[in-house]
Amino acid sequence: MEYHKPLCMMDTVVESEWRKKVMLAAANGSLCQWRSNVSAGQRLVFRDQTAWFLHIPRPGTISPGYADERVAIEVETIHLLRERTSIPVPEVHAWGLTKENELGLGPFMLTSPVDGVSLYTVFGMNPNVSRPLPEDIPDTNMEYLYRQMAKFMLELFEIDFDEIGSLPTPRTKFPAPNRPVTTKANSIQRLGGVDILGDRENGFSTSHEYLQYSHSQELEQLRCQPNSFADRGSAESRYAALKVLESLIPELTMQLLGTAPSWLILGHPAEPLSSFPAGEDPKASERYFKYLDLFMRVLAEEEARSSGIHRGELSKLIRWSRDTGAMWFHMLLQAGFLDPSQVPFMQLRKHKGAEWWDDQVAAYQKTEEVKEFVASKLEGLAAYDRTFAEAQVNKTLLDSGQITPREFIRRMTPLIAAGLQRPAEG
């Protein structure tokens, strides 16, 4: 599924300008002068050799409207993990909202440093490139890693809440709504320009209710992003595929923590945003299932050693998610920017039966609901093309030095806003 290209253009320039401000603050000394209150940008070492680390969300990773909330909830999350688990997370020394950052760099958090060597370095991988783990890693090393992750998951599984949603904020006192700002919601807002959180303030009492909400967010993105498809055929297939997913919610509802992890070999094509060519299941899937078996064995062994009140439940849930295909269903509803060519869609089709799946898609494609949706979207797509063309003109002027980054942002802001007007209901 396409991202909103003019929005991505502007975000790139906004982040570039933010980086210049960070570099200027470091060069002119204001970063160091300000750190006596709370700080910005890097590892900081005080005169007594005490080290703190500054975290500031990059503009290119979080929508501006969610930045303060993200940092406040991260502070709450770290405190919870330090109190209730053995997961090695830093200690929070200070944090602040956007308005409290005197350098204008956004919300921030100061923590103790987390020393160590990244697994990307250990495995010789580039952290900025999404790809599977190297194939020459010994199974003994993978088992060692999975055992640590299994222990952490079991500790998390023991933490109970009254409802599904955002964490309470007793420490930060931040007025966060109970609905969670998920990775999917942030990505769709940032890359598609659609606020799928809406005006919901409350949490969710059941997994079924939450999955229905998550599915409605997918439909909202498809309806409201002007370039959410490339042509009539892709519009029909994507909308129909989402309707099939909706029909499976009662059958495949479960706790999301209890679903098979998609991160077992990192860049594996089972990861929600990945897809494979020509409708063929990639070889990497064989590795994924091999390591899923290894992870499940290790998890069961760690469960047997644990004394938690939910002992034995997590491995049963993960096994059920694998056997029923629910794991693929959950990957999809947590992803955003869905496309029927993605691996989770194809794997779910395989579990449900290709004939059944194709019949369901074909039936939905014939409905008036889909026909009306496609007709309304085609007009919006033409308007998007005009917006994109004007954005490209502005980008050319920027690249040639005829306008400044500030002028580029000034021109692009109303252009993008006009193109993201929500379609009328009906």
Amino acid at 258: G
Sheet holding 43-45, edge to edge: 43-45, 51-55, 108-111, 92-96
Give me the pLDDT at residue 61, please. Answer: 84
CB 243: neighbour CB atoms within 10 A? 19
- Could you tell me if 408 and 395 are in contact, meaning their C-beta atoms sit under 8 angstroms apart? yes
Q: Please, which residues have CB within 8 angstroms of residue 185's CB and are 6 or more apart in sequence?
A: 66, 196, 197, 217, 336
Nearest residue to 246 via CA among 210, 270, 216: 216
- Could you tell me if 279 and 346 are in contact, meaning their C-beta atoms sit under 8 angstroms apart? yes
CA torsion, points 263, 266, 270, 275, in degrees to nearest 10?
Answer: 150
Domain residue limits, the chain: 378-419
Ranges 30-39, 143-152, 213-222, 299-308: which has the least confidence: 30-39
Give me the pLDDT at residue 1, please. Answer: 61
Question: First and final CA of the chain: distance in angstroms?
Answer: 24
Span 28-37, average pLDDT:
51
In angstroms, the CA 203 to CA 196 distance is: 15
Give me the pLDDT at residue 55, please. Answer: 86
CA angle 206/204/60 to nearest 5° reads 125
Give me the pLDDT at residue 273, please. Answer: 41
In angstroms, the CA 6 to CA 210 distance is: 32
Tell me what the pLDDT averaged over the chain comes to. 87
Q: Has residue 45 got a pLDDT over 90?
A: no
In three-state secondary structure terms, 271 is: coil
Please count the residues of the chain. Answer: 426
Q: Please, which residues have CB within 8 angstroms of residue 87's CB and are 6 or more apart in sequence?
A: 81, 152, 155, 156
Strand partners, 117: none
Which tokens belong to 3?
């991202």
* pLDDT bucket at 57, cuts 50 / 70 / 90: confident
Dihedral-angle region of residue 23 (phi above 0 means left; psi in -120 to 50 means alpha; beta otherwise): alpha
CA angle 10/13/14 to nearest 5° reads 85
Give me the pLDDT at residue 284, please. Answer: 66
Give me the pLDDT at residue 271, please. Answer: 47
Query: For 57, what's the count of Cα atoms within 13 Å in the CB-facing half-sphere?
Result: 23
Report which listed range, 125-129, 298-302, 308-312, is most confident: 298-302
Nearest residue to 260 via CA among 319, 310, 338: 319
pLDDT digits over 365-403, tens only?
999 998 888 888 888 888 899 999 999 999 999 999 999
Backbone angles phi, psi at 425, to 5 degrees: -70, 150
Span 140-163, average pLDDT:
94
* pLDDT bucket at 22, cuts 50 / 70 / 90: confident
The continuous run of DSSP H or E covering 43 comes out as strand 43-45
- Could you tell me if 111 and 93 are in contact, meaning their C-beta atoms sit under 8 angstroms apart? yes
Span 135-148, average pLDDT:
93
In angstroms, the CA 301 to CA 112 distance is: 33
In angstroms, the CA 300 to CA 316 distance is: 9
Give me the pLDDT at residue 36, please. Answer: 34
pLDDT digits over 248-304, tens only?
999 999 888 999 998 898 764 444 444 444 444 556 678 889 999 999 999 999 999
Q: Has residue 43 got a pLDDT over 80?
A: no
Span 140-159, average pLDDT:
95
* pLDDT bucket at 243, cuts 50 / 70 / 90: very high
CB 1: neighbour CB atoms within 10 A? 22
Dihedral sign from CA coordinates of 363, 364, 366, 367: positive
Q: What percent of the chain has pLDDT over 90?
A: 57
**Residue 279 CA: distances (Å) to CA of 214, 332, 344:** 26, 17, 12
Q: Has residue 38 got a pLDDT over 50?
A: no
In three-state secondary structure terms, 151 is: helix
pLDDT digits over 75-126, tens only?
999 999 999 999 999 999 999 999 998 888 899 999 998 878 888 888 888 8
Nearest residue to 25 via CA among 47, 11, 44: 44
Q: Has residue 425 got a pLDDT over 80?
A: no
- Could you tell me if 308 and 156 are in contact, meaning their C-beta atoms sit under 8 angstroms apart? no
Helix and strand totals (H; E) in the chain: 15, 4
pTM of the model: 0.88
Give me the pLDDT at residue 29, please. Answer: 66
pLDDT digits over 185-231, tens only?
999 999 999 999 877 778 899 999 999 999 999 999 999 999 998 88
In angstroms, the CA 381 to CA 59 distance is: 27
Span 178-187, average pLDDT:
90
In angstroms, the CA 9 to CA 191 distance is: 10
Query: For 160, what's the count of Cα atoms within 13 Å in the CB-facing half-sphere?
Result: 6
